[in-house]
Amino acid sequence: MPSVAHSAAHSTAQYIKIFYILLALTILEVSIVYTGLPRMFLVGLLVILAVWKAALVAMHFMHLKFEKTLLSIVAIVPFVLCVFLILMLLPDIFPR
Amino acid sequence: MSEAVAMHAGAEPAEAPLTPESWGKLGMWLFLAGDAMSFGGLIVGYGILRHASKTWPVPSHTLGINLTAVMTFLLIVSSVTMVLALAAIQEDDKRRFKKFMGFTILGGLTFLGCQAYEWTHLIGHVLPEHNLSFTKDLFATTFFILTGFHGMHVTGGVIYNSAVLAAVSRGRYQAKHVEIAGLYWHFVDLVWILIFTFVYLL
């Protein structure tokens, strides 16, 4: 399976496709900042778009989609720890 | 990739042991995981300081997000040229590799140029107007620490990529080395995507 995914002609087209998706998402991000949506909605939407873009880069450009599970586990650890960090700091973020 | 094909030709075990060529990748991923935690700590810290502050300047009014949108675009493009450079070296096309790797390095340098301009503009004009400055208030301090830490990573990436380009030109590095350098470069792009959202857009 990994060797098929790496066949060059195939992947070049795929890379270009990912580029256009990233570009479209970036334009979308910048334009919704100017729309004056409700703050909570805006924050949620922007965070989802950012995580989506980051995942596209990791899965396709960094090949996580085609790699062994071990590398994905290594990659996911810091995100789990960051969520943990936020949870541990919740008492300080919202006192009492 | 022919040897990789040969290695995978047999039955694919559910959890195959690492192949020799993947040790370098694992090493880079472990480094990136640690680096991601540095960035994660800084971004979470930024979020908590911002949440706890009574007032916080609106970033899109103060920082000017049009230039940084262009910078985001630059890094995404340089990520694409990086994967195209990898695809070229995997096909043993050194000429095309050098072209795309050159574009990648140029993209990184242009990004740094934009950031230098942005910082100069902010320090010289925008921040004094709002009575903000580094170490004097949390907005400017967290901004310069986050973007500065990332900018240093871009600088490191440009040097790294230049070294890889030189080593491939001399025939000392092959596709697997380019792939590892690519992981670092894409990580820098990935982190900027997050910084762009959290520092500039929100």
Eight-state DSSP code of residue A64? G
Q: Min CA distance, A35 vs chain B (Å)?
A: 12
b/e map B99-130, b = 16+ CB within 10 Å: ebbebbbebbbbbbeebeebbeebeeebbeee
For residue A28, the model assigns a pLDDT of: 92
- pLDDT tens for chain B, residues 1 to 202: 455 544 554 455 455 556 666 788 899 999 999 999 999 999 999 998 998 888 888 888 888 788 999 999 999 999 999 999 999 999 999 999 999 999 999 999 999 999 999 999 999 888 888 888 888 889 999 999 999 999 999 999 999 999 999 999 999 998 889 999 999 999 999 999 999 999 998 8
Residue A67 touches chain B, beta carbons under 8 Å: yes
Please list every residue in chain A whose beta carbon sits closer than 8 Å to the beta carbon of residue B22. Answer: 67-68, 71
ipTM of the complex: 0.86
SS3 label, residue B65: helix
Output the pLDDT for position A8.
Answer: 55
B179 contacts in A (CB within 8 Å)? 63
Separation of alpha carbons A50 and B120, rounded Å: 27
A33-81 confidence digits (pLDDT tens): 888 788 888 999 999 999 999 999 999 999 888 888 888 899 999 989 9
**CB-CB under 8 Å, A85 with B91:** no
CB B185 within 8 A of CB B82: yes
Pick B29's closest partner by Cβ from A54, A69, A74: A74
Q: A48 — contact with chain B (CB < 8 Å)?
A: no
Could B32 and A93 be called an inter-chain contact, meaning their C-beta atoms sit closer than 8 Å? Answer: no
pTM score, whole prediction: 0.87
Euclidean distance between CA atoms A12 and B18, whole angstroms: 26
Minimum distance, in Å, between the CA of residue A50 and any CA atom of chain B:
6
Say what the pLDDT of residue A5 is. Answer: 44
